[in-house]
């Protein structure tokens, strides 16, 4: 409770500084007869550029959603014409045939903090054992976990490991983070490909087959697509489910295609094991995955996003868990941005477009909440001094406003079309209705993360799990029965960017 009240105090203080003080400053400028139109235009331009980038990414993600080895016959003349247009534009999808080489030995590395995840870890291990197809060269599963006290679930895990020799248990004594658990397991990895999973992630049966096709093409890391399994729990999880589809189904795949670069998102990532052992993870960073992504790219390795490798995960079940998860993400992105931005521009491993992309991705995440927030003091200062010239008469402001709102609608429609799960339409209507307030909430959390960084508060806070999250609600993740998994079908759908 103390942490929560501290964050509320930080939030109030930060907003007084970032909204209250600018409001008074702008009000004084208006009284002095100084026009703030140029400031309005600058902020409008910022939103316009962001909206155009969103619309470009959505278009790319929409046009590349079909990527199969053998596409079905055209349904009609319109379908035939659309396929011809996409092929002419080079947007018909990245089609990779099945590899002629067998998948090498693979490792699934699961990281867990058992006091927090003891109610879900058995389900995850059962799912992996029952679902993931074994390469002929073999599959091993390593559970690297930490716990300050002995738990009954450890005995259940031990019995499961006896029944399944491919399961190895590693209790990491003294560990205080996911990064330390992962690093401790590096020496145990025997597979050529290592899949890293969080304790709540349920991977698909063909995950290694899909990842192997990219790794064969000289990529070093393949990031898959994460969707929300407990989306039906409440209004909060429904909105997070749509948000995740926008991020993992639209934004990341589009950036990966346009710039041939993306991030490792912490889970559902498939590494060349030799690269993973060289990169490892930094326990001092709050977002060890983004830190590892930057070091991987700056070392000359390549990461690609494949949205056809779909795992299901659990969204935070309540506001408290959501707050601390997103604060850690925001704080962690800020750490990475300040640490690596100069190195990005000095790097000989990245192209000019990739440097621009990473500058946008890193600094955009840092400064978006601060710049977007300035709309409020501008509006409040105008309300306090209505005699000022109405900025709404400017045509550019109208255009930028229309494009900004249109980009949100367009992104929602594209997300609904390419979503891995066919959510009820009310999910999207709800998301559209609450997106303004949801964005304000995330911006507020980001500001508290900035406050923590400036004051040196960088302690890891674990995202709480609840027993209610245990039951899967997605058709992609039925409860496993530990029956043998059949070999891969010959007509496996191809991977896509």
3-class DSSP assignment, residue 269: strand
pLDDT at res. 3: 63
Mode of pairing for the β-strands spanning 193-198 and 269-272: antiparallel
Tokens of 401: 């406003």
pLDDT at res. 276: 98
Instruction: Single out the residue of 94, 54, 44 nearest to residue 413, CA to CA.
Output: 54
Kind and range of the H or E run holding 303: strand 303-313
Q: How far does Cα 281 stand from its chain's mean position? A: 18
pLDDT at res. 334: 87
3-class DSSP assignment, residue 305: strand
The residues, ordered by sequence, that sit 6+ positions from 272 with a Cβ below 8 Å of its Cβ are 192, 193, 194, 215, 220, 221
Tokens of 119: 């109610």
Neighbours of 480 (CB within 10 A): 18
Size of the chain, expressed as the number of residues it contains = 497
User: Any idea where the domains of the chain sit in the sequence?
Assistant: 1-65+93-480
The residues, ordered by sequence, that sit 6+ positions from 421 with a Cβ below 8 Å of its Cβ are 227, 231, 241, 245, 474, 475, 476
pLDDT at res. 485: 38
Angle at 462 between CA 461 and CA 467, to 5 degrees: 145
CA distance 358 to 364: 9
Burial of 178: CB neighbours in 10 Å, binned 0-12, 13-18, 19+: buried
CA distance 418 to 490: 25
pLDDT at res. 481: 35
The residues, ordered by sequence, that sit 6+ positions from 283 with a Cβ below 8 Å of its Cβ are 176, 177, 179, 180, 183
Residue with tokens 């959603």: 65
DSSP code per residue over 385-423: -TTSPPGGG-HHHHHHHHHHHHHHHHHHHHHHHH-SS--
pLDDT at res. 385: 79
What is the SS3 assignment for 218-257?
CCCEEEEEEEECCCCCCHHHHHHHHHHHHHHHHHHHHHHH
Tokens of 166: 């491919």
Cα torsion 217, 488, 208, 61: sign: positive
pLDDT at res. 377: 87
CA distance 108 to 270: 9
pLDDT at res. 71: 57
CA distance 48 to 42: 10
pLDDT digits (tens, 9 = 90+) for 163-200: 999 999 999 999 989 999 999 999 999 999 999 999 99
Tokens of 72: 């079905």
| pLDDT averages per 10-residue partition of the chain, 497 residues | 68 77 87 84 88 91 61 75 74 66 96 92 97 96 96 96 96 94 96 97 95 92 96 92 94 90 94 98 93 96 94 90 86 89 92 89 74 82 74 79 89 91 90 81 80 72 58 40 37 44
pLDDT at res. 477: 41
Tokens of 140: 């091993």
Instruction: Single out the residue of 388, 453, 443, 14 nearest to residue 22, CA to CA.
Output: 14
pLDDT digits (tens, 9 = 90+) for 100-144: 889 999 999 999 998 889 999 999 999 999 999 999 999 999 999
> How far is CA 438 from each of CA 243, 444, 445, rounded to the nearest angstrom?
10, 10, 11
Task: With beta carbons less than 8 A apart as the criterion, state whether 160 and 206 touch.
Answer: no
Architecture label for domain 1-65+93-480: Alpha-Beta Complex (3.90)
């Amino acid at each position: 409770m103390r942490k929560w009240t501290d964050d509320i105090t930080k939030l109030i203080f930060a907003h007084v500084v970032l909204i209250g003080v600018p409001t008074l400053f702008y009000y004084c400028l208006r009284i002095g007869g100084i026009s703030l139109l140029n400031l309005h235009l600058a902020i409008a331009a910022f939103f316009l550029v962001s909206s155009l980038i969103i619309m470009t990414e959505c278009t790319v993600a929409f046009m590349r959603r079909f990527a199969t080895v053998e596409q079905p016959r055209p349904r009609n003349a319109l379908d035939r014409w659309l396929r011809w247009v996409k092929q002419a534009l080079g947007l018909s999808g990245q089609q990779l045939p099945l590899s002629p080489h067998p998948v090498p030995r693979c490792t699934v590395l699961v990281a867990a903090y058992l006091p927090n995840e003891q109610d879900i870890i058995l389900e995850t291990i059962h799912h992996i054992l029952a679902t993931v197809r074994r390469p002929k060269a073999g599959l091993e599963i390593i559970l690297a976990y930490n716990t300050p006290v002995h738990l009954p679930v450890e005995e259940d895990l031990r019995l499961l490991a006896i029944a399944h020799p491919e399961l190895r248990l590693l209790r990491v004594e003294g560990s205080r983070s996911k990064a330390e658990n992962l690093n401790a397991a590096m020496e145990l990895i025997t597979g050529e490909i290592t899949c890293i999973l969080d304790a709540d992630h349920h991977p698909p049966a063909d995950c290694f087959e899909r990842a192997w096709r990219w790794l064969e093409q000289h990529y070093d890391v393949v990031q898959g697509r994460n969707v929300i399994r407990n989306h039906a729990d409440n209004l909060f999880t429904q909105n997070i489910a749509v948000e995740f589809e926008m991020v993992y189904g639209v934004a990341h795949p589009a950036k990966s295609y346009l710039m041939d670069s993306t991030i490792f998102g912490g889970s559902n990532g498939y590494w060349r094991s030799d690269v993973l052992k060289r990169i490892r993870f930094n326990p001092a960073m709050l977002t060890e995955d983004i830190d590892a992504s930057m070091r991987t790219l700056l070392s000359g390795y390549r990461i690609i996003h494949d949205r056809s490798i779909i795992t299901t995960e659990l969204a935070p079940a309540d506001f408290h868990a959501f707050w601390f998860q997103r604060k850690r993400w925001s704080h962690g992105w800020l750490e990475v941005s300040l640490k690596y931005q100069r190195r990005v521009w000095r790097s000989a491993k990245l192209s000019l477009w990739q440097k621009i992309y990473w500058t946008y991705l890193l600094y955009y995440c840092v400064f978006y909440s601060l710049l977007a927030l300035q709309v409020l003091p501008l509006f409040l200062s105008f309300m306090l001094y209505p005699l000022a010239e109405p900025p709404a008469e400017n045509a550019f402001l109208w255009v930028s406003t229309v494009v900004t709102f249109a980009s949100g609608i367009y992104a929602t429609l594209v997300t609904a079309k390419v979503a891995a799960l066919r959510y009820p339409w009310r999910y999207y209507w709800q998301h559209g209705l609450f997106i303004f307030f949801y964005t304000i909430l995330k911006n507020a959390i980001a500001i508290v993360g900035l406050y923590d960084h400036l004051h040196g508060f960088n302690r890891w806070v674990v995202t709480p799990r609840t027993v209610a999250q245990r039951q899967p609600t997605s058709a992609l993740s039925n409860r496993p029965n530990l029956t043998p998994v059949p070999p891969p079908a010959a007509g496996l759908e191809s991977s896509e960017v």
